[in-house]
């Protein structure tokens, strides 16, 4: 078997979106599964819309997803001499020709064709005029007048296109810049791409590209067109369905492994398995297991996966990825060890790093703000004595560990004939300001003796002030 070489060729006209990321992932997995190579290529010939900011955003997203590439990034604007070389081959062999038809003339003839019931495609007027290079002239590819072009797609099966229905497409614009369908063929030829795996919105481009390969006398790569991703309303995924940019999910507190796991399952399956390690994905990925139906993007499923990965990760590994979110909230002035302990208390309880950072504010604020409803309900006169006893007992503690705290609480409860639930919620309100938190003793252990005493004393002040 020849070496497997795949590629991902984004256009730098915006950020990397979910659909593009899945295409990149499928190419990366296929190459890694076969011990091949994965090439990154930046298709920046749309000079007016391509930006350095978009290039950076794409590279940042690829790196965040850990989709490492073996070659590149290559830039099409740095390869213009290569395209001209292949253009000359097509011109010399008669498979391409110069055209000086103006946009106005083309539009007029298209309207005439439609009025006469003909297909509104280029009528081949310049095919045999023998024009050379000149101002405002483009180069067109001469599509065969008859015959059928067959796309043997690895996912969709054979698809047939009648050549008579295809246009003599422009392959070089008047400014000397190659068009997409020509440049992508030259790139794939010169980079020895073995498998072209891309979204099925490219299916209609493929017969034109196949004809260019054939005109150049070059063997075709294998083509595999992946069904698109739809929103839950079964329309094409767009911003109205939520965030579509990969880096937006990073900013919302998603982990890259959760997004990778979710994206791979949008159109690919391995039995009934839902959760995969990266090594499992590389081992199991086959194009034969990519479905023919569109994937439906379900934000709730992604959120569930993210919660799973947050829970399963070590707390220590979450410290560096959580710090930026804590920085934004002015809450990062703690050691890695402290943050890891704090993270453990929230790992089973949150879905995103944003949720975790918001929840962890309770460990950083000097003075908690009491929720009026919670304080009114739980910080009552009946809690004055339990709080006094609790504060006194904690002040005498030398060993401020979870087990010791449990013993202190139990002793006070026994002495006063109270059940744990009677005092737990009032203490929780005093410590956090609200009624929802991690386990009381594990939370107190993270806060430390000094902070716990300070908050309990403030709670007692509130009780006495009523």
pLDDT at 17: 94
Angle between helices 420-432 and 449-465 (to 10 degrees): 100
Ramachandran assignment for 117, one of left (phi > 0), alpha (psi -120 to 50 degrees), beta (any other): left
pLDDT at 1: 66
- CA pair distance 213, 343, nearest whole angstrom: 56
CATH hierarchy code of domain 79-226: 3.40.50.620
- CA pair distance 46, 54, nearest whole angstrom: 13
The chain-wide mean pLDDT, for the chain, equals 94
pLDDT at 243: 67
Q: Which of 363, 419, 362 is nearest to 386 (CA)?
A: 419
- Residue 115, H or E segment: helix 103-115
Residues of CATH 3.40.50.620 domain(s) within the chain?
5-77+229-299, 79-226
Question: Which pLDDT tens digit goes with each residue over 124-153?
Answer: 999 999 999 999 999 999 999 999 999 999
Catalytic residues: 239
Question: Which pLDDT tens digit goes with each residue over 73-97?
Answer: 999 999 999 999 999 999 999 999 9
Q: Are 204 and 181 spatial neighbours (Cβ–Cβ below 8 Å)?
A: no
Q: Which CATH architecture has domain 314-363?
A: Orthogonal Bundle (1.10)
Ranges of the chain with pLDDT below 70? 1, 242-243
Return the residue matching tokens 């000359």.
Answer: 88
C-alpha 178, offset from chain centre: 30
Q: What is the pTM of this model?
A: 0.92
Q: Are 4 and 34 spatial neighbours (Cβ–Cβ below 8 Å)?
A: yes
Ramachandran assignment for 154, one of left (phi > 0), alpha (psi -120 to 50 degrees), beta (any other): alpha
Q: Are 185 and 83 spatial neighbours (Cβ–Cβ below 8 Å)?
A: no
- Which tokens in the block code for residue 182? 């020509």
In the beta sheet, which residues pair with residue 98?
139
452 cis-preceded (ω within 30 degrees of 0)? no
Residues of CATH 1.10.8.70 domain(s) within the chain?
314-363
Question: Which pLDDT tens digit goes with each residue over 278-287?
Answer: 999 999 999 9
Q: Which residues, including other chains, have CB under 8 Å from residue 16's CB and lie 6 or more apart?
A: 10, 24, 57, 58, 61, 62, 245, 246, 247
Say if domain 372-465 classifies as CATH 1.10.1030.10: no
Q: Which CATH number fits domain 5-77+229-299: 3.40.50.720, 3.30.70.660, 2.60.120.10, 3.40.50.620?
A: 3.40.50.620
């Amino acid at each position: 078997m020849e070496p497997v070489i795949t590629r991902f060729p984004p256009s730098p006209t915006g950020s990397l979106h979910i659909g593009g990321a899945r295409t990149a992932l499928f190419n990366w997995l296929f190459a890694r599964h076969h011990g091949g190579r994965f090439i990154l290529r930046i298709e920046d010939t749309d000079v007016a819309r391509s930006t350095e900011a978009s290039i950076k955003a794409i590279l940042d997203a690829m790196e965040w997803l850990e989709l490492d590439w073996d070659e590149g990034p290559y830039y099409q604007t740095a390869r213009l001499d290569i395209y001209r070389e292949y253009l000359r081959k097509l011109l010399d062999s008669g498979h391409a020709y110069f055209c000086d038809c103006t946009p106005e003339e083309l539009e007029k003839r298209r309207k005439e064709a439609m009025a006469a019931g003909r297909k509104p495609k280029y009528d081949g007027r310049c095919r045999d005029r023998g024009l050379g290079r000149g101002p405002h002239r483009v180069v067109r590819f001469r599509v065969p007048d008859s015959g059928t072009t067959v796309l043997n797609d690895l996912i969709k099966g054979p698809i047939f296109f009648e050549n008579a229905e295809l246009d003599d497409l422009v392959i070089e614009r008047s400014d000397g810049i190659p068009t997409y369908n020509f440049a992508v063929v030259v790139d794939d030829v010169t980079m020895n791409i073995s498998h072209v795996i891309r979204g099925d919105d490219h299916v209609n481009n493929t017969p034109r590209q196949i004809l260019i390969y054939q005109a150049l006398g070059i063997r075709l790569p294998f083509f595999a067109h992946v069904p698109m991703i739809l929103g839950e309303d079964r329309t094409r995924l767009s911003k109205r369905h939520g965030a579509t940019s990969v880096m937006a999910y990073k900013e919302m507190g998603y982990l890259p492994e959760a997004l990778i796991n979710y994206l791979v399952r949008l159109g690919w399956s391995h039995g009934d398995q839902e959760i995969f390690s990266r090594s499992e994905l590389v081992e199991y990925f086959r194009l034969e297991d990519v479905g023919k139906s569109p994937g439906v993007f379900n934000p709730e499923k992604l959120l569930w996966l993210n919660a799973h990965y947050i829970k399963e990760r070590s707390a220590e590994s979450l410290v560096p990825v959580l710090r930026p979110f804590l920085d934004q909230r002015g809450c990062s002035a703690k050691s890695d060890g402290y943050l890891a302990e704090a993270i453990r208390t929230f790992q089973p309880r949150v879905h995103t790093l944003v949720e975790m950072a918001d929840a962890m504010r309770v460990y950083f604020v000097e003075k908690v703000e009491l929720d009026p409803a919670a304080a009114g309900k739980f910080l009552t006169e009946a809690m004055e004595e339990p709080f006094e006893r609790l504060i006194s007992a904690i002040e005498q503690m030398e060993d401020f560990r979870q087990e010791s705290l449990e013993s202190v609480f139990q002793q006070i409860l026994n002495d006063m004939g109270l059940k744990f639930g009677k005092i737990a919620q009032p203490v929780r309100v005093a410590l956090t300001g609200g009624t929802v938190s991690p386990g009381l003793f594990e939370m107190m252990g993270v806060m430390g003796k000094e902070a716990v005493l300070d908050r309990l004393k403030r709670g007692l002040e509130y009780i006495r002030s009523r």
